[in-house]
Each structure stands twice: as structure tokens, then as C-alpha cells.
Structure 1
Amino acid sequence: MTDERPDARIEDRMSALEVGTLDADAVLLAAYPEVVRLVTVLTDLSFASYLLSPRFSLAEQVWALEAAVITIMQGSTTTRLHDIAEKIVTRGKAAVETAFGMRQNAHNKRPATLEKALVASSQRHRSWLLRHLSTVRIQILPYQPGLAVPRSRVLDRHRPLPDVDIA
């Protein structure tokens, strides 16, 4: 979003902070209140679970994500925003589907606990939204044995990686 002209609120903050160039860091600094509000909404258990639940259509979920951004930023939708929202939701839903099929370990076909599978899948797919799901609120798909969940000590050693650049 750094290639677009910021709205008046952001420009006023940039002037007050004496930020002259419009790069990614400057936009995050100038839009800090909006960024915090957006992160609060996106990491809400209900909202994250809605965005990634297999119960709802991709179009509905993309629209909800766009609406959150538009409302908080007091802007309007763009093709770029729509494309980014669609990539985020698509990647997250694929990661949830992977988690639903994860086995306890490589030696058996019993399902892993959903909480552990979501952690493992969030690392594998680099989807930060999975870390904010409510396992109570998402619809469970029928279990089809797939990948094995790594041991807990392996999961604990890995630090969450940022999502792959989707912009």
C-alpha cells in the first residue's frame, strides 16, 4: 500500500513526525492507531475463526476481511486490497485443512489434537491467523490421515515465521 497516496490523516501524522518519504516503515508509524485496531480485530478469536472456517464461502470471508480494513482505515476497496485479502484467506483455509488431517505421529493414523495440529500447520504454511483460531468455533472436517505432527519439542524450538510476502 506504499505506492498509493495516503489519506489526509496519515499525511498529517507524517508531517507531525517529520517523516518525508513514504516507505513501509513510515506508513506503519503514521498509521499506528489504525494498525493496532486492525490487528486487534484480526486476532479476535471469533473473527479469525470466521475467516478460516470451512463452513463459510471464500467470497464471504474475503468480503469480511476487506470490510474490516476499509472500516478501520476509513477508505474504500481496491483491486489490490481484494487480491491481498483473498490470498490471506485462501492460504489460511488451506492451512486449516492441513491441520484437520494431521496425525499424532508418523507411526499411527490417529488424529492429532487440533490445537497442536494448528500450531504445526501455522509453521508449515506460515499463516499467522492460525495462531488466533478458536478450536471451539471452527467446524471440524471429517478426518483423513495426512501429515504427522512434529514432536512438541520440535514445535517449541521453532519460532513463528512471518507470512510469506503476499503483497
Structure 2
Amino acid sequence: MKTITLIIALVLLTVATNLSAQRRTSYSDEYGHALNIGLGIGGYSGYYGYYGHTLPVFDINYEFGVAKNFTLAPFITVYSYSDDNYRALVTPVGLKGTLYLDQLLHAGRNWDFYTAGSLGVSIVNTSWDANYKGDRAYYHSVDPLYLDLHLGAEYHFNKNIGAFLDLSTGISTIGIAIH
């Protein structure tokens, strides 16, 4: 609930304070219209009943500009986890809202800085070793609601290509942005 409240507060802050300031003189004159493809690691404490990291994580989203300094991006993420008896393919899908802070931070021409929140559901496909005798329902006891908070930066090599680092509370990625 705190995450949803934070996302709503960020959207209202953007609209209410009208962070318009000056015209951008960077490669990304308008936010949005960017395909972001990332690889990374995920680490969830207790997410779907396990502890640890997954490697690799593949994430893709496409940003649409919806307001000044704010984008929405449908996303899909794929990763797997396994231990001695259990394997899971986890696919979070949802919507990522991003607030760009470049004007507020007086970012240089080639840089974008942002904070974001992702909201969605996780689709989990599980399989067990045939001789596992434990509780197979244990890993499904967690609500499939997917929430993630992000801080990130992108460096623009030119007007069409950038590299980004997205640090988050769940899945952190490094990748390429195509504008």
C-alpha cells in the first residue's frame, strides 16, 4: 500500500508543481518512445517462498510519454529459479511509471536521471523433481502482486542509442535504450 501511495504522490507532484522549467537541450528532448532492453539480477527475500538471487533476468519495456517528465511503459520480465527439487519460471508483467528528474537535477546534455515504480502480476510456472515428497503448495502461498521501486540513469551516446542502469528493490538491470 505504501508503494501505491508513493507512486500516486509522485504523479501528483509532477502535475501540481509543473516542472516545465527550460526547454531540454539533450538528446531526449521528449521522454518516451524508447525501447529499453535490459539484463540483470533479481533478489527477493521470500518472494514465492524462496530466498536468493536469480541470474540472468531479461527485462523489456517500451516507454510512452504521458505528461511532462513522466512516462508509462508496459513491461515483461523473465527469470528462473531452481534449487535441488524445485524449478520456477517467473514472468512479471505490468506497467512502469517513470518520473524524470533531469530538470530538477540540472543534468548534463547526455544524461537522464529518474525514479520509477512498477506494478503488475507475476505468472509462475513451476515444476518439481519426481521424487520430491515435501509440500508442493508452499511456493504458491505468496500473492502474485508485483511491486518494484526504481532509481536509474541513462547515458545517451547519440540521439538514437543510450545505456542505462536501473537499480531497484527487486530486479536491477543494465541495458540498452533505443530511441
Query: Is TM (by shorter chain) over 0.5?
Result: no
- The structure richer in strand per residue is 2
TM-score relative to the length of structure 2: 0.26
TM-score relative to the length of structure 1: 0.27
